[in-house]
Structure 1
Amino acid sequence: MAKRFTKPSINWTELEKRVSPDQKGKFLAFKAKSVSYLRRVEENPSEPPKINWAEYQKLVPVKGLVDKLKSQYDAFKVPVPEDTLSNSVDEQWKSLEPEIKDFCAELQKQIEGANKELARIKALPKFEDMTMEMYAEIFPDQALDPINRPTFWPHDPEDQIGYKPLPKKQEQIAKGNK
Structure 2
Amino acid sequence: MAKRFTKPSINWVEFEKRVPPGQKGKFLAFKTKSDSYLRRVEANPPEPPKINWEEYQKLVPVKGLVDKFKSQYESFKVAVPADTFSQAIDDQWKSLEPQIKAFCAEQQKQIDEANKELIRIKALPKFEEMTLEMYAEIYPDQALDPVNRPTFWPHDPEDQVGYKPSPKKEQQVAKAKK
Structure 1 residue ranges (4+ consecutive) displaced by more than 4 angstroms after TM superposition: 169-172
Partner of 1:32 in structure 2? 32
Partner of 2:49 in structure 1? 49
- For each residue in 1:127-165, what CA deviation from the matched residue of structure 2 results, as whole angstroms up to 9, or x when unmatched? 111111111110111111112222111111111111122
Letter of the 2:105 partner, please give it. Answer: A
> C-alpha separation between the residues in 2 aligned to 1:84 and 1:148?
73
Structure 1 unaligned spans of 5+: 173-178
> C-alpha separation between the residues in 2 aligned to 1:31 and 1:169?
54
Q: Matches of residues 13-162 of structure 1 in structure 2 within 5 Å?
A: 13-162=13-162
Shift of 1:78: 1.8
Structure 1 range deviating more: 54-63 or 16-25: 16-25
Partner of 1:176 in structure 2? none
Two-structure CA RMSD over aligned residues (Å)? 1.6
Letter of the 1:22 partner, please give it. Answer: G
1:163 matched to 2:163? The reply is yes
> C-alpha separation between the residues in 2 aligned to 1:98 and 1:156?
47
Structure 2 unaligned spans of 5+: 173-178
- For each residue in 1:53-104, what CA deviation from the matched residue of structure 2 results, as whole angstroms up to 9, or x when unmatched? 1111111111111111111111222222221111111111111111111111
The size of the alignment, in residue pairs, is 172
Identity of aligned residues (%): 81
